[in-house]
Structure 1
Amino acid sequence: MKKSWRAEKLDRLGSSIFAEVSGWKREAMAAGLDVIDLSIGSPDQPPAPEVRQALADAALRADAYAYPGTKGSRGYLGKVAEWMAYRFGVDLNPETELLSLMGTQDGLGHLALALCDPGDIAIIPNPGYPVYAAGLAVAGVEPYLMPLREERGYLPDFDAIPEEVWRKAKFMLLNYPSNPLSAVADLPFYEQAVAAAKRHDVLIVHDLAYSEMAFDGFRPPSILQVEGARDIAVEFHSMSKSFNLAGGRIGFVAGNAEAVAAMAELKGNIDFGVFLPVQEAAVAALERDMSGTVEPVGGLYERRRDLFLGALAAEGWAVPEPKATMFIWAKLPPMRWHMAEPWTSRRISREMLARYGVAMIPGDAFGSEGEGYVRIALVEEEEKLLDAAKRIGRFIRGE
């Protein structure tokens, strides 16, 4: 029998919803539709001019092309530590409590490989970003799916997690502001989370990729602001959304020194770190942010949120306003026409794109608790968002 050159554990990953929706988009364009892509959460704006200039200047230096080192440059990690103190009032040791990453997806994808052994349990949100479960599947770690529901503001009930799960779990993953839910959490919530984790000796992993994308005056806190959190928590940050450096692939993990060291040890065996000019661009972005002279990126998405949700409401689809992120997490629209089979998240997403060229992500792609919802990304200019709302209205009415 011919050997398979594909690992069986890849079956546990499932199909990538983003690849699937990309196929739907190609079909729609082949059919002549002008597609408005509100599916992928990739910023449509470039980095600030001074950030691009820092990247360009560094890329022209002859000494920029050596291996950069897995941990991150002193300049980058030092600036990250300065920014964490400026933004959250958290003092970190760049030598032991920070590690550069090729974006948070890189770190979260490798997390379980560094912290767990096959057969361990990790507690992850449902719905949750797909890489959370994918990282566990590759590492042979069993997920405990922690349900996040609208009636609780999409916050977990720590008391509902079985004692046996707490006993076996290595880490619990939290994500606020949340992708896909756009839910937010305050400091008292993190205090409860840290207390629960300490009772059970479980590491908290907090994904704070959307820290600068909040609205209505809300400023998302860091879990590391909680007293004693560094004993039990690490936090992931991204330059992709906050500073429009998505293609640059740069972020960092901060917090518990033992967990940071474990990730550094793993990554020291599999990659050589982030391209130095990209690190210098990130330094420029952090310096610009700390100047206090520029509007945070959240302002752009707050205006888009208000415009788009107002237009959707006029078309008959009322959706609650999120407090953060670039996403709208919405219950399925009130359809005024029927198909032979029931409307599901996937069916509505598929038909919306096939008939009217508006791409969004079905909620069930983020877990079983996501059925009945769709995720819409505010990653187009205002004119296109208004056009998308009109097309969605026509779809709802069955025109």
Structure 2
Amino acid sequence: MSSESGHPIGGETPFEVEYAQRVYRLPPYMFGRINALLYEKRVAGHDVIDLGMGNPSDPPQEFVMEKMCEAVRDERNHGYSKSNGIRNLRREVAGKYLKKYGVRLDPESEVIACLGSKEGFSHMCLALMGPGDTAIVPAPYFPVHTYAVALASGNVIALEVGDSEKFLQNIAYTCEHLYPKPKLLILCYPHNPSTVTVEPEFFVEVVKLAKRYGFMVISDFAYADVAFDGYKPPSFLSAPGASSVGVEFTTMSKGYNMAGWRVGFCAGNAEMIKGLATIKGYYDYGMFQAIQIAAIVALREGDAAVEEQSKIYESRRDVLVDGLTRLGWGVTPPKAGMFVWAKIPEVWMQRMNTMDFAMMLLEKGDVAVSPGSGFGPCGEGYVRMAMVENEERLRQAVRQIGRCLKQEEKELVGTQG
């Protein structure tokens, strides 16, 4: 019993909620400080340029939104939908794989729709992993690649992803020296956050390793549709034998600008997809059918729009990279994805860690970036900047970063003097 204020009456012990152990096993959320300050500044009226989250700011194509409105008005689309996605949507995904990558998929058993690829990835880990199981993830790592494994009660081994040949060697070494052997290899190319890319031969070697050591593969292919300078991101499933050892997740969030629509897919190994379908069957009733119908039209008629969106990101990349280079930053222009992975200038690395640097840019420069340490220890010394603002806003962000660092430098010199 408690008073209106919620405080216990008569000295009763407050009721305590104890979470499941899987929740306590989650690593600390590294972006909490950034998000809290970002919210405070916006409430106070500051015009913060947010390059922290890869949240597309451009809308979907008009014909996609029109199809969505039409489908919403059809009363037949408002009931529960199949949790694996309607057949025509799965057929369209299979068609895209055949057209773009030369990969043949059975839409009935080798393709499933997800409520965004993040949901599908997390539930796939729940279907595959359990206590004592280990997954290899690339480092620095996209947080869900470790969180989803932890929530499934599995263990994570993070291997540096910068050198692709060394990464493959480290996978083999881990499999040879760890008992029990890793059960799952998680890949992400083009890589988030580091923007590392690979050629098709890389996946050929991955399949060989998977067969040799008996692990499964999940390829997170989130940035399949965003690439620059003529680079074409290869699909894991295009490697011979890939479907016998793994699956690939794709999404319509990036190239199609449908992030809030939550449309993702898993394709490949039929048994792994069956496991995901089993979990999804217990957890959800599928995606709103009107969204699925609009997604079919986007996949069928949106190739030109996706290519144009890549050109927009390429122009933004050039603006951001050129601006940071003029400030004296060491930046390698990414060949794909929505981010610039920028090494903090040495003078600042000697003074503060990545989190404090990012907090300084937000507090005193009104620019939000993601600190590299939020992606694990291998990310220390870097910040990730999302190319989600238009070119003029990106130029303004660079100017504000420059002014912020210049002012801080003056104050430090004055303090030391």
TM-score (norm 1): 0.94
1:310 correspondence with 2:322: yes
**Residue deviations 1:46-100 (CA, integer Å, cap 9, x gap):** 0000111111110110111111111110111011111111111111001110110
Q: Does the 8 A contact of 1:329 with 1:375 survive in 2?
A: yes
* Change over 3 Å in CA distance of 1:274–1:391 after alignment to 2: same
SS of the residue 1:172 aligns to: strand
In 2: Cα distance, 1:232 partner to 1:175 partner: 16
* Change over 3 Å in CA distance of 1:152–1:264 after alignment to 2: closer
Aligned to 1:391: 400
1:360 correspondence with 2:373: no
Once structures 1 and 2 are overlaid, which stretch shifts more, 198-207 or 164-173?
164-173
In 2: Cα distance, 1:363 partner to 1:349 partner: 9
Letter in 1 for 2:223: Y
Q: Does the 8 A contact of 1:38 with 1:379 survive in 2?
A: yes
* Change over 3 Å in CA distance of 1:366–1:45 after alignment to 2: same
Once structures 1 and 2 are overlaid, which stretch shifts more, 319-328 or 115-124?
115-124
In 2: Cα distance, 1:293 partner to 1:43 partner: 14
* Change over 3 Å in CA distance of 1:224–1:296 after alignment to 2: farther
Letter in 1 for 2:194: L
Letter in 2 for 1:46: P
- Taking the TM superposition and a 5 Å limit, the aligned residue runs for 1:224-373 are 224-290=237-303, 295-335=307-347, 342-373=351-382
Aligned to 2:236: 223
Aligned to 2:215: 202
Q: State the 1:281 CA deviation.
A: 1.4
1:45 correspondence with 2:54: no
Q: State the 1:294 CA deviation.
A: 6.3
Q: Which of 91, 96, 100 in structure 2 is aligned with 1:87?
A: 100
In 1: Cα distance, 2:113 partner to 2:86 partner: 8
Q: Does the 8 A contact of 2:22 with 2:152 survive in 1?
A: no
The number of equivalent residue pairs is: 394
In 2: Cα distance, 1:166 partner to 1:48 partner: 50
Letter in 2 for 1:26: Y
In 2: Cα distance, 1:202 partner to 1:108 partner: 17
Q: Does the 8 A contact of 1:174 with 1:205 survive in 2?
A: yes
**Residue deviations 1:311-348 (CA, integer Å, cap 9, x gap):** 22222223110111010111113447x9xx93111010
CA RMSD of aligned residues (A): 2.0
Q: Which of 359, 363, 385 in structure 2 is aligned with 1:376?
A: 385
In 2: Cα distance, 1:268 partner to 1:329 partner: 38
Letter in 2 for 1:307: V
1:193 correspondence with 2:206: yes
In 2: Cα distance, 1:123 partner to 1:209 partner: 18
In 1: Cα distance, 2:391 partner to 2:59 partner: 16
- Give the greater-gyration-radius structure (CA): 2
